[in-house]
A and B are shown apart, each in its own frame.
Chain A
């Protein structure tokens, strides 16, 4: 039923009239200006002339098109008055692209100025000429540019170096053909730090497609030696590039850190964070002093947080957030600095609410929980919601505090008369009970009340889920569910309806006689409810399952849920790793890797060579050169590679067959005890280790060292004469490795038995375990 498109209403024609009339008045003024510029009297009076040109620039800023004055401005630019000249050049570089033909008129003046005796004029002319952005200009630009790069004045050289970049972006060929890129590369060593820093920026951008600039050792030393000569912009940029450089030895790593230590004491957050990035990367390869490096970084970053500018504080906080998750414990003692201020912008508050739970430990948990309780009562519902989520994080991180937190959440539900608070609290409890199922007895009595008061669908669905999952044995449960079924038609939320179906089924399996009838009623209602296809199909699926085989249905619907060890966002460890590699970029503020928001043309590769543990020995030499071509995958792997290589003296090395993909261990693997036991019993011993340690470390140190290498502890215990551990890890081929480790206290002798799903890589796993204990050998 296409209605005919009406002809353009006359109003639009009228609109055009009026707009052109408006434009005419403006054009009138522009015409006046034109006349003024041609006026002889103005011509002779530099003050008046300045005023007129100033007016032109004012119009330009307002967005009025004054490009018709191009010719007059070109004429005016031929002056000895520098203020006037600068204004003219600003105008010309703004409008050149849209007045290509007329633009050639100014080339003459500008090239002449490039030969001026005053370096300020030469520099200005070079900058303006190269900023015109016209291909037709290139042939005139080239000769003056070649000369400018050798100019005795640093200002001219600096502007020339940037002119090379502008030229490159207009016409790549002309730059390479004339060897301009090589000249600029040589100018990295220019005695003037400004020129040197600019050359670095230019070379890096010219080579962006090849992954940026390639830093070799000589250049690194050169830059480090004079790092304090550069201004903060130069320093930040150099440090940014340095983060890609891998020192060849541990000694060199320390040397670089010593030189850069002074960069942590400056007020510029750009410099401090760029330095921090380098230290953080090094900390990954120097695991035995990782904590010390983080401790060194802690105070400077906290001082940046004291900056009066909320914008800078926000960015620093986001970076602290990454550091806190990367090295838990370091910032704990300073948790009070992360308390919310009543007068700060909400992005800052939200970030603090994400950091605070990560700082909780058994000593400060009480104080922290108390503070968060205050936030729950904040007038801003968003703050109170996020504070409750923070409670959940703490309870997951610190099992000892879980009891208290669940009780606190229950108290919120009964005492705080806000639907948002109740919803969020019951949601968090739902997640927590999956980790601490034995706590369900305390929660269940609160559910009937929750059901009455909570209106939000998410909250309601969470209560229903809890009823089905944990409440099957509670006396009231069938009655509560019956009530919900009765009011099914009043319910609008699909989420609630779906939760109800599952819950009723679960209870049915436990108490068939009581629930049979109501399940039937619910299924009938739902099968007749066609308001939502998914819901309808789900009901149908359940119905058919139940008809087919009740036992089978039971198995499907009440399947055992894996215990929650951490929240889903934590499991995206790959993302976290990627973000970590992009430290000190916008990625950290967006919580997104660069490839998701930067187009290909502007994307800079992280340039960390991909190395595997097994290939370490061979790749170590190559790593220094291969700085960019390989796409970075995981810095962790690189770090391990170096680590492995260090230990090569002990005979650790390439065991993996070359045809398989590089061997590494997956991060954040979880395993439950039962699986461990079954797998352990099923497999044969695939590798053994027998190591003398220099001293007998405490159990938690062994565990944390192993965990850093992604070998996780299932259980540990003290046998009196020895410590006993069970470890597991999953490698990149998805093979599970298990290890039983015994450490004799008296002799410091460590023995390990490794069993694997696939014994091929068992020895590699054993070696990796040994390498992780490197600090104790």
Chain B
């Protein structure tokens, strides 16, 4: 049985913003039980609640997005991925219809949310969930929330403002369709999340890329599209073709259900009719070697028995015209330290660099607003210890984690060669925005042990 009993959205403080009971076989008041359990989770050693748990025979399944909890309850032994995908889909739908996903947007559009919920789920069973199929049934108009205010009060988890081509990606789908002077546009993001692990000598211990091609379509009439990838793209790491150099080798990939793969094997073409709103056209995974965009060289010097100096050098192995934005290196320092004084390159402050010691978390946070390709920056942090250096103190230093975003760059070299409307008319020439973004997923360098 794949049926949910209740669905609710809770604010970060635990207030119920939306609550819908589908089957009335689970008591009221579960929202409080849920929030309390997640807030004060204790079980199996951790204090972070897993996404599914059971209390008194009720299964609670939740995801957290934009700080909000999307929760469903059920008494059945459902497929966890079914329920989690459902919650993720609902969150995406709300975003498509409200323009953004935030507490304010949901509060202002609660009637619309209820309307959507009732069309997606009947008696707790999901029926339809695609944005365009629901359009016929949804009659409420979205209440827009102020985007500028949103951007400040709410950190958008995926993109930063600089790489956003226009605020139109925050347009609700229905509003876009109804307004007369709408622009025909489609956004394509090639988004890559990089995982890297270096040892203290700069040697790569493990690395992989998780990539997705994300689209957001505002094309009227949903015309069939064709998207071409690198022709020499190889799928399957062990395959023969993968041994030839130069080509992009994917370990594996999967596709949105709208994609027809008839021309994929031969020509690397994806044919599809784009659904409305945001969707992931394709996910892919790469474990073969690639050039790390940033290299980290950390080392520790012992100035005296109670003072050490941690030196971190970061180099951007990027083309000259590319740059990383919001680069942030976080480095744990010994808990038994009196203070940390950090020194940056000369002229660093002008270049938007800061280094801050967060005594509470015992961390030095080094921020570089813009990290130009080919550049190299160094941080020197002097740490005054409360007691003489010991192996135990040594262990508390590092590892360094780096978070960043690189616009118009993708580490894998995977490319969208073109995106075409299959039957092209002269009058119909939509705007196509193609962006490449590489982000850090887990980008870590350890210190050498000696």
In the assembled complex, A316 has its CB within 8 A of some CB on chain B: yes
Residues from chain A with Cβ under 8 Å of B82 in the complex: 233, 236, 270, 274
In the assembled complex, A267 has its CB within 8 A of some CB on chain B: yes
Q: Which of B118, B255, B395 contacts A86 (CB under 8 A)?
A: B118
Residue in A133, A158, A266 whose Cβ sees the most chain B Cβ within 10 Å: A266
In the assembled complex, A689 has its CB within 8 A of some CB on chain B: no
Scoring A residues 661 to 681 as 1 if CB is less than 8 Å from chain B, else 0, what string do you get?
Answer: 000000000000000000000
Nearest-CB distance from B401 to chain A (Å)? 5
Contact B77 A341 (CB under 8 A): no
Contact B46 A270 (CB under 8 A): no
Residues from chain B with Cβ under 8 Å of A208 in the complex: 1
> A127 to B124, alpha carbons, bound, how many Å?
12
Contact B79 A266 (CB under 8 A): no
Contact A236 B2 (CB under 8 A): yes
Residues from chain B with Cβ under 8 Å of A474 in the complex: none
Contact B84 A309 (CB under 8 A): yes
Residue in B123, B236, B283, B287 whose Cβ sees the most chain A Cβ within 10 Å: B123
Q: Which of B3, B18, B210, B391 contacts A61 (CB under 8 A)?
A: B18
Scoring B residues 73 to 99 as 1 if CB is less than 8 Å from chain A, else 0, what string do you get?
Answer: 001111111101110100000000000
Nearest-CB distance from B159 to chain A (Å)? 13
Contact B50 A589 (CB under 8 A): yes
- Stretch of B367-375, B411-419, B422-430, B439-447 with 4 or more beta carbons under 8 angstroms from chain A: B439-447
Nearest-CB distance from B272 to chain A (Å)? 12
Residues from chain A with Cβ under 8 Å of B122 in the complex: 127, 158-159, 162, 198
Answer whether A302 and B19 are a contact pair too, CB < 8 Å, given A341-B442, A584-B81, A585-B77. Answer: no
A-B contact count, CB below 8 Å? 245
Residues from chain B with Cβ under 8 Å of A83 in the complex: 111, 115, 139-140
Scoring A residues 339 to 350 as 1 if CB is less than 8 Å from chain B, else 0, what string do you get?
Answer: 101111111001
Contact B75 A266 (CB under 8 A): no
Q: Which of B24, B77, B128 contacts A598 (CB under 8 A)?
A: B77
In the assembled complex, A23 has its CB within 8 A of some CB on chain B: no
Nearest-CB distance from B419 to chain A (Å)? 19
Residues from chain B with Cβ under 8 Å of A374 in the complex: 446
Contact B128 A341 (CB under 8 A): no
Contact B62 A311 (CB under 8 A): yes
Contact B193 A308 (CB under 8 A): yes
In the assembled complex, A190 has its CB within 8 A of some CB on chain B: no
Nearest-CB distance from A107 to chain B (Å)? 19
Contact B77 A602 (CB under 8 A): yes
In the assembled complex, B176 has its CB within 8 A of some CB on chain A: no
Scoring B residues 146 to 162 as 1 if CB is less than 8 Å from chain A, else 0, what string do you get?
Answer: 00000000000000000
In the assembled complex, A315 has its CB within 8 A of some CB on chain B: yes
Contact B118 A337 (CB under 8 A): no
Contact A267 B255 (CB under 8 A): yes
Scoring B residues 38 to 71 as 1 if CB is less than 8 Å from chain A, else 0, what string do you get?
Answer: 0000001111111111100101001110000000
Looking across the interface, which residue of chain A has its beta carbon closest to that of B237? Answer: A299
Residue in A54, A306, A337 whose Cβ sees the most chain B Cβ within 10 Å: A306
Residues from chain B with Cβ under 8 Å of A299 in the complex: 236, 251-252
Contact A57 B81 (CB under 8 A): no
> A61 to B117, alpha carbons, bound, how many Å?
14
In the assembled complex, B228 has its CB within 8 A of some CB on chain A: no
Looking across the interface, which residue of chain B has its beta carbon closest to that of A155? Answer: B137
Taking chain B's interface residues, is the majority helix, strand, or loop, or is none over half, making it mixed? mixed
Residues from chain B with Cβ under 8 Å of A599 in the complex: 57, 75
* Interface residues in A, total, Cβ within 8 A: 100
Nearest-CB distance from A568 to chain B (Å)? 17
Residues from chain A with Cβ under 8 Å of B396 in the complex: 379
> A336 to B47, alpha carbons, bound, how many Å?
26
In the assembled complex, B267 has its CB within 8 A of some CB on chain A: no
Contact B76 A598 (CB under 8 A): yes
In the assembled complex, B392 has its CB within 8 A of some CB on chain A: yes
Contact A337 B75 (CB under 8 A): no
> A120 to B162, alpha carbons, bound, how many Å?
43
Nearest-CB distance from A373 to chain B (Å)? 9
In the assembled complex, A272 has its CB within 8 A of some CB on chain B: yes
Contact A265 B57 (CB under 8 A): no
> A414 to B137, alpha carbons, bound, how many Å?
69
In the assembled complex, A312 has its CB within 8 A of some CB on chain B: yes
Q: Which of B19, B48, B129 contacts A345 (CB under 8 A)?
A: B48
Q: B121-175: which have CB < 8 Å to A?
A: 122-123, 125-130, 136-137, 139-140
Answer whether A273 and B57 are a contact pair too, CB < 8 Å, given A265-B255, A314-B50. Answer: no
Residues from chain A with Cβ under 8 Å of B236 in the complex: 299
In the assembled complex, A166 has its CB within 8 A of some CB on chain B: yes
In the assembled complex, A489 has its CB within 8 A of some CB on chain B: no
> A336 to B206, alpha carbons, bound, how many Å?
6
Nearest-CB distance from B19 to chain A (Å)? 6
Contact B252 A302 (CB under 8 A): yes
Nearest-CB distance from B51 to chain A (Å)? 4
Scoring B residues 195 to 231 as 1 if CB is less than 8 Å from chain A, else 0, what string do you get?
Answer: 1010000000110101010000000000000000000
Residues from chain A with Cβ under 8 Å of B44 in the complex: 347, 350
> A299 to B76, alpha carbons, bound, how many Å?
30
In the assembled complex, A699 has its CB within 8 A of some CB on chain B: no
Contact B54 A590 (CB under 8 A): yes
> A312 to B137, alpha carbons, bound, how many Å?
29
Scoring B residues 1 to 23 as 1 if CB is less than 8 Å from chain A, else 0, what string do you get?
Answer: 11100000000000011110100
Residues from chain B with Cβ under 8 Å of A266 in the complex: 254-257
Residues from chain B with Cβ under 8 Å of A315 in the complex: 51-52, 80-81, 84
In the assembled complex, B110 has its CB within 8 A of some CB on chain A: yes
Answer whether A342 and B392 are a contact pair too, CB < 8 Å, given A269-B81, A307-B283, A347-B46. Answer: no
Answer whether A585 and B78 are a contact pair too, CB < 8 Å, given A61-B18, A300-B254. Answer: yes
Contact B111 A346 (CB under 8 A): no
In the assembled complex, B407 has its CB within 8 A of some CB on chain A: no
In the assembled complex, B280 has its CB within 8 A of some CB on chain A: yes
> A63 to B8, alpha carbons, bound, how many Å?
13
Residues from chain A with Cβ under 8 Å of B78 in the complex: 585-586
Contact A302 B251 (CB under 8 A): yes
Contact A312 B125 (CB under 8 A): no
Scoring A residues 282 to 314 as 1 if CB is less than 8 Å from chain B, else 0, what string do you get?
Answer: 000000000000000001101110111111101
Q: Which of B18, B52, B79, B446 contacts A584 (CB under 8 A)?
A: B79
Residues from chain A with Cβ under 8 Å of B21 in the complex: 94
In the assembled complex, A415 has its CB within 8 A of some CB on chain B: yes
Q: Which of A63, A341, A589 contacts B16 (CB under 8 A)?
A: A63
In the assembled complex, A627 has its CB within 8 A of some CB on chain B: no
Looking across the interface, which residue of chain A has its beta carbon closest to that of B114? Answer: A90
Residue in A158, A204, A341, A415 whose Cβ sees the most chain B Cβ within 10 Å: A341
Looking across the interface, which residue of chain B has its beta carbon closest to that of A159? Answer: B122
Contact A589 B52 (CB under 8 A): yes
Nearest-CB distance from B366 to chain A (Å)? 16
Nearest-CB distance from A541 to chain B (Å)? 35
Nearest-CB distance from B410 to chain A (Å)? 15
Looking across the interface, which residue of chain A has its beta carbon closest to that of B31? Answer: A63
Looking across the interface, which residue of chain A has its beta carbon closest to that of B260? Answer: A228
In the assembled complex, B253 has its CB within 8 A of some CB on chain A: yes
In the assembled complex, A278 has its CB within 8 A of some CB on chain B: no
Residues from chain A with Cβ under 8 Å of B57 in the complex: 597-599
Q: Which of B47, B63, B118, B195 contacts A311 (CB under 8 A)?
A: B63
Contact B140 A231 (CB under 8 A): no
In the assembled complex, B339 has its CB within 8 A of some CB on chain A: no
Can you report 25 residue pairs joining A to B where beta carbons are below 8 Å apart?
Answer: A83-B139, A86-B115, A87-B114, A120-B136, A127-B118, A158-B127, A198-B122, A205-B3, A231-B128, A233-B2, A233-B127, A264-B254, A302-B251, A306-B210, A315-B81, A336-B208, A341-B441, A342-B444, A346-B47, A347-B49, A377-B395, A586-B79, A589-B52, A598-B75, A603-B77
Q: Which residues of A approach B to under 8 Å, CB–CB?
A: 54, 57-58, 61-63, 82-83, 86-87, 90, 94, 97, 120, 127, 131, 133, 155, 158-159, 162, 165-166, 194, 198, 201, 204-205, 208, 228, 231-233, 236-237, 240, 264-270, 272-274, 299-300, 302-304, 306-312, 314-316, 318, 334, 336-337, 339, 341-347, 350, 371, 374, 377, 379, 382, 385-386, 415-417, 582, 584-590, 594, 597-599, 601-604
